[in-house]
């Protein structure tokens, strides 16, 4: 353990954000890293608990107390090795994970958890800066060939693990650049895209081949992948968005979040938008419907584009300011959180249902709403309306897209409409075809996608070789 009395002597100190007025002028990351000695002091706060509850929260089983101790002792290189033994992309989770580990930390009983995410990010960034992140090509090849469809965090983690086990790995991606939602969904101000480009270069050096601009089931038959590979892993995400079936939905200016967000990421990277018409928030009153991560990303992007106002509406009631620790700890608490984008000046309202959208000359201009009670019933007389030049629908994703690849393969789905496969072996109803990430578990988090990618790689390795040395 680090410093035995560290948690008593040292206050929690975390990374700060650049002021909102400055950061909304650009699309770059705005979190100011702690200096190395402050990170060491924060790592010294870890109590190396007999039961490390932080492990309950972390889906990739990061060995948190171990690397906290290594950082406290300034053995950063060993800390980086330890961290990479459970997580392929800690510089990603160190930036954008909601950090369920911190909610589970014993010190969170007092609201001052160890700054686990900040320490993780510091280790990962230092490893990159010092040149410790090198390709790890396999010592020998197995002669087996695996196709991975989709290059989000699940597909990338699986591909990296499978290549390191000696398989020939081909990743097929319908977009122009690998990364999935890490590149096209999550805005650059939350994570700059060279983070992903570095990993893609590392994986190419490990023998992974990326085939971009290939939409499997559209440009290329899934049957061809089955014919040409010994196993196929589907990591195509959960891309079917939840819609808002109200009058006025088809007016100009009403869009899904994932029609809006990728455009800005493409502008930033210089990738052409192609035939699609630009969707922009500049000079507009923007309404974001949906209170989650995607909604927050729409807010931050709208402010950076020059929106006049941004209002976020949530159908669920306002959560409590503070959780009842004894009821929920060490599990993830439902409580009021304010994202950095919301803190940039969005108005927020809860228990609000949209009844219709109206407009002029085919363009949206007003959103009509009603307040709802605890039984989700409209409250009489509570109707109101808001200016709405741009309405962004960020109400989540219902299941993967079926048309194309999944229909062609004729796979079974679970009751929620995701591809049916268990976490024991990730096998779908079709022999030799596996599924992982949001395509299997439904809309989730990056850290869960990394876990599923790693576990699916182990299952595929065992399927191909009879046994596997890959970790689960
Ligand atoms: C806007 C937004 C912001 C988010 N922010 C966060 C966050 O801050 N933190 C967090 O932890 N989680 C966040 N999430 C959730 C997280 O991004 C996802 O849970 C995660 O990316 C899922 O990983 P995946 O690999 O399963 O799928 P995805 O990342 O969705 O990747 C799937 C890939 O498959 C490709 N594909 C699909 N079908 C085909 C096909 N037929 N042929 C070829 N390619 C195909 C897609 O183009 C895509 O690249 C966010 C989600 C969204 C939408
Ligand atoms: S729960 Fe918190 S204090 Fe305990 S080992 Fe984990 S990080 Fe350290």
pLDDT, tens only, 404-444: 999 999 999 999 999 999 999 999 999 999 999 999 999 99
Instruction: Tell me the pLDDT tens digit for each residue of 19-68.
Output: 999 999 999 999 999 999 999 999 999 999 999 999 999 999 999 999 99
Per-residue pLDDT at 207 exceeds 90: yes
Q: Can you list the alpha helix ranges (DSSP code H) found in 274-380?
A: 293-305, 325-328
Q: Measured in angstroms, how far is the CA atom of residue 182 from the centroid of ligand 1?
A: 7
**Angle at the Cα of 186 from the Cα atoms of 208 and 262, rounded to 5 degrees:** 90
Per-residue pLDDT at 1 exceeds 90: no
Contact between 453 and 250 (Cβ < 8 Å): no
Of all residues in the chain, what percent carry a pLDDT higher than 70? 100
Residue nearest to atom 39 of ligand 1 (CA): 236
Instruction: Identify the pLDDT of residue 345.
Output: 97
Provide the token pair at 110. 């007092």
Provide the token pair at 441. 């578990």
Contacts 24+ apart (CB under 8 A), 199-203: 199/88, 199/89, 199/156, 199/160, 200/156, 202/133, 202/134, 202/135, 202/160, 203/135, 203/156, 203/159, 203/160, 203/163
Instruction: Identify the pLDDT of residue 9.
Output: 96
* Residue length of the chain: 472
Contact between 46 and 68 (Cβ < 8 Å): yes
- The pTM is what? 0.98
Report in angstroms the alpha-carbon separations of 403 from 238, 242, 308.
13, 16, 38
Does 216 contact ligand 1 (Cβ within 6 A)? yes
Instruction: Identify the pLDDT of residue 2.
Output: 72
Q: In ligand 2, which atom is closest to the CA atom of 47?
A: 3
Residue whose tokens read 């300011």: 321
Q: Which residue among 42, 71, 114 is best mutated to probe the pocket of ligand 2, counting the most ligand atoms within 8 A of its Cβ?
A: 114
Question: Which of 51, 89, 44 is CA-nearest to residue 67?
Answer: 44
Of all residues in the chain, what percent carry a pLDDT higher than 90? 98
Residue whose tokens read 């596997």: 468
Q: In ligand 2, which atom is closest to the CA atom of 45?
A: 3
Instruction: Identify the pLDDT of residue 391.
Output: 98
CA dist 46 and 24 (Å) reads 35
3-state SS class at 210: strand
Per-residue pLDDT at 370 exceeds 80: yes
Instruction: Identify the pLDDT of residue 3.
Output: 85
Per-residue pLDDT at 355 exceeds 80: yes
Question: Which of 128, 126, 127, 134 is CA-nearest to residue 203?
Answer: 134
Contact between 283 and 264 (Cβ < 8 Å): no
Rg, the chain, Cα only: 23
Instruction: Identify the pLDDT of residue 78.
Output: 98
Does 57 contact ligand 1 (Cβ within 6 A)? no
Phi and psi of 397, rounded to 5°? -125, 135
Q: What is the mean pLDDT of residues 313-326?
A: 95
For the chain, what is the mean pLDDT? 97
Q: Which residue among 186, 199, 239 is best mutated to probe the pocket of ligand 1, counting the most ligand atoms within 8 A of its Cβ?
A: 186
Beta strand segments in 107-191, E: 145-149, 168-172
CA dist 93 and 70 (Å) reads 19
Instruction: Tell me the pLDDT tens digit for each residue of 88-145.
Output: 999 999 999 999 999 999 999 999 999 999 999 999 999 999 999 999 999 999 999 9
For strand 390-393 and strand 254-256, is the pairing parallel, antiparallel, or unpaired? parallel
Instruction: Identify the pLDDT of residue 374.
Output: 93
Write down all domains in the chain, each with its CATH number in brackets.
6-129 (1.10.1060.10), 145-239+399-465 (3.50.50.60), 243-395 (3.50.50.60)
Ligand nearest to the CA of 405: 1
Question: What string of DSSP letters covers 384-403?
Answer: EEEE-SEEEE---EEE---T
Instruction: Tell me the pLDDT tens digit for each residue of 384-402.
Output: 999 999 999 999 999 999 9
Instruction: Tell me the pLDDT tens digit for each residue of 326-350.
Output: 899 999 999 999 999 999 999 999 9
Report in angstroms the alpha-carbon separations of 443 from 119, 319, 397, 446, 466.
27, 21, 6, 10, 32
Question: Which of 294, 296, 297, 259 is CA-nearest to residue 278?
Answer: 259
Q: Measured in angstroms, how far is the CA atom of residue 337 from the centroid of ligand 2?
A: 22
Instruction: Identify the pLDDT of residue 463.
Output: 98
Ligand nearest to the CA of 45: 2
Contact between 146 and 170 (Cβ < 8 Å): yes
Question: What string of DSSP letters covers 9-72?
Answer: HS-----EEPPHHHHTT-SS--EEPPPHHHHHHHHTT----SS-THHHH-TT---HHHHHHHHH
Does 183 contact ligand 1 (Cβ within 6 A)? no
Q: Tell me, what DSSP letter sits at residue 423?
A: T
Q: Tell me, what DSSP letter sits at residue 421?
A: -
């Amino acid at each position: 353990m680090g410093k035995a009395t560290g948690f008593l002597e040292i206050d929690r100190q975390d990374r700060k954000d650049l002021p909102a007025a400055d950061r909304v002028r650009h699309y770059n990351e705005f979190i100011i890293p702690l200096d190395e000695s402050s990170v060491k002091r924060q790592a010294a706060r870890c109590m190396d608990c007999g039961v490390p509850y932080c492990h309950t929260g972390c889906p990739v089983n990061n060995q948190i107390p171990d690397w906290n101790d290594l950082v406290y002792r300034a053995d950063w290189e060993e800390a980086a090795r330890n961290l990479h033994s459970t997580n392929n992309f800690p510089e990603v989770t160190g930036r954008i994970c909601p950090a369920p580990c911190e909610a589970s930390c014993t010190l969170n009983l007092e609201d001052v958890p160890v700054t686990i995410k900040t320490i993780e990010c510091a280790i990962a960034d230092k490893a990159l800066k010092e040149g410790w992140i090198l390709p790890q090509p396999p010592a020998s090849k197995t002669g087996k060939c695996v196709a991975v469809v989709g290059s989000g965090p699940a597909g990338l983690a699986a591909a990296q693990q499978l290549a390191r086990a000696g398989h020939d790995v081909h990743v097929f991606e319908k977009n122009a650049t690998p990364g999935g939602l890490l590149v096209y969904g999550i805005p650059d101000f939350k994570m700059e895209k060279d983070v992903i480009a570095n990993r893609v270069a590392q994986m190419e050096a490990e023998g992974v081949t990326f085939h971009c601009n290939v939409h499997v089931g559209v440009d290329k038959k899934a049957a061809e992948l089955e014919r040409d590979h010994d196993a196929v892993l589907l990591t195509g995400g959960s891309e079917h968005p939840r819609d808002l079936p109200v009058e006025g939905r088809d007016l100009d200016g009403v869009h899904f979040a994932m029609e809006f967000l990728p455009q800005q990421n493409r502008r930033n990277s210089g990738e052409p938008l192609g035939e699609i018409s630009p969707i922009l928030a500049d000079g507009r009153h923007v309404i974001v419907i949906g209170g989650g991560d995607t909604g927050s990303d729409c807010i931050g992007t709208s402010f950076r584009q020059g929106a006049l106002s941004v209002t976020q509406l949530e159908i669920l009631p306002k959560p409590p300011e503070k959780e009842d620790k004894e009821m929920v700890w060490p599990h993830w608490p439902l409580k009021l959180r304010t994202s950095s984008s919301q803190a940039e000046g969005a108005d927020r309202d809860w228990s609000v249902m949209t009844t219709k959208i109206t407009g002029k000359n085919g363009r949206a201009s007003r959103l009509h709403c009603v307040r709802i009670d605890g039984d989700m019933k409209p409250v009489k007389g509570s109707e109101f309306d808001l200016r709405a030049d741009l309405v962004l629908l960020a109400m989540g994703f219902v299941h993967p897209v079926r048309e194309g690849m999944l229909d062609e393969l004729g796979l079974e789905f679970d009751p929620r409409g995701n591809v049916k496969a268990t976490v024991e072996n990730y096998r779908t109803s079709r022999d030799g075809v596996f599924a992982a990430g949001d395509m299997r578990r439904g809309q989730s988090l990056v850290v869960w996608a990394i876990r599923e990618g790693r576990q699916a790689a182990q299952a595929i390795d065992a399927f191909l070789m009879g046994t596997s040395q890959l970790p689960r």
